[in-house]
Amino acid sequence: MKISVIGAGSFGTALAKVLADNGHEIHLWSYEKETADEINQNRINSIFLPDIVLPVNIVASSSLEDVLKGSRFVLSVVPTQVVSSVWENGKNFLEKDAILVSASKGIEKKTHRIVSDILEGILGADWKPNLAYLSGPTFARELAMKVPTAVTIAGYDESRIQEIQKIFHNEYFRAYGIHDVVGVELGGALKNVIAVATGVSDGLKLGYNTRAALITRGLAEIARLGVAMGAQPMTFMGLAGMGDLVLTCTGDLSRNRTVGIKLGQGMTLKDIMSEMKMVAEGVPTTESAYELSRIKNVDMPITEAMFRILYENKDPKDVIKDLMSRKLKFEHDH
């Protein structure tokens, strides 16, 4: 089967490799023509996934029309902040009966939309049964190396979810189905904010106690916002919630944690971002999540603390002190 993968970053390339390993004909869209040429000529994506040899059944292109034409299964793995622009164009080449799975994790700036809202707004309500959302604890490099990995597929139509599960499934990649699209999307987006926070803690060398507290209380505020937006609480106990949160907050491959570490060590956000080749979704998502928490009147102190550091240039040490000096409360208070 021809499968289109939109986005040749590290995660998009790794997921393309999973699908290629399953014997499918993969057409991979890259925004950078140089990346597409390198994949086709050398079987390597040196910028986003170096040292991983890609299968010959992955063909890359910088033409969205060529990649999407005739494809019934489409995987979208572009940064959240460009989902709208990519699919306003891509919808013109999308087959009418195609299944579209998004693996982007974030919240759009200014509009505060999660990816499902963006795609449904662009494609229309009739597309909902054919839309699904992939999330869970996945580092692209480990996935590309065939390290056993489990994710969640959220969607509206059970038969479509099951079809997607089968397309992805192999001996090292397992997908669980769920109907809570909002919960899965928010879990995947907001864990990046908490990962920046734990990175700041690690950069300040505050220790494992602090890291554990940030992860646990971070999950609490993720769930509070999720429930306020209609998500199921148990979703945040699963792969797209706790699973992804723990991985991103503790793993050395986490871009968002790395941003936090450098902030804790005294670097400015501008300097950090200028030396990064890949997108750290937690940075724009922090702003969106902070604004969303104010709109929904949901208490999210860690998210607010990260907003103060990232966008108001507050000293991380002072922000941690402020967190610790907040009014005492019971653990399950809202």
Say if residue 63's pLDDT is above 80. Answer: yes
pLDDT category at 277 given cuts 50, 70, 90 is confident
- What integer pLDDT is reported at residue 86 of this predicted model? 98
Quick: pLDDT tens for 285-294. 999 999 999 9
Say if residue 279's pLDDT is above 80. Answer: no
Q: Which two tokens stand for residue 144?
A: 């590309």
Quick: pLDDT tens for 12-41. 999 999 999 999 999 999 999 999 999 999
- What integer pLDDT is reported at residue 334 of this predicted model? 64
Rounded CA-CA distance 328/331 in Å is 9
Q: Which of 295, 322, 293 has its CA nearest to residue 308?
A: 322
Active site residue 191: yes
Percent of the chain past pLDDT 90, that is, above it, reads 92
Given 109, 191, 270, 329, the catalytic residue:
191
Rounded CA-CA distance 194/287 in Å is 13
Rounded CA-CA distance 191/282 in Å is 8
CB-based contact 190:225 (threshold 8 Å): yes
Quick: pLDDT tens for 69-94. 999 999 999 999 999 999 999 999 99
Q: What is the DSSP letter of 326?
A: S
Quick: pLDDT tens for 287-324. 999 999 999 999 999 999 999 999 999 999 999 889 98
- How distant, in Å, are the alpha carbons of 64, 87, 308 from that of 48? 19, 22, 30
- What integer pLDDT is reported at residue 281 of this predicted model? 87
Quick: pLDDT tens for 91-143. 999 999 999 999 999 999 999 999 999 999 999 999 999 999 999 999 999 99
Predicted structure pTM score: 0.95
pLDDT category at 147 given cuts 50, 70, 90 is very high
Quick: pLDDT tens for 151-208. 999 999 999 999 999 999 999 999 999 999 999 999 999 999 999 999 999 999 999 9
Quick: pLDDT tens for 218-259. 999 999 999 999 999 999 999 999 999 999 999 999 999 999
CB-based contact 68:96 (threshold 8 Å): no
pLDDT category at 331 given cuts 50, 70, 90 is confident
E strands in 67-207: 73-76, 99-102, 131-135, 149-155, 173-178
Domains of the chain: residue spans and CATH: 2-179 (3.40.50.720), 189-324 (1.10.1040.10)
- What integer pLDDT is reported at residue 332 of this predicted model? 81
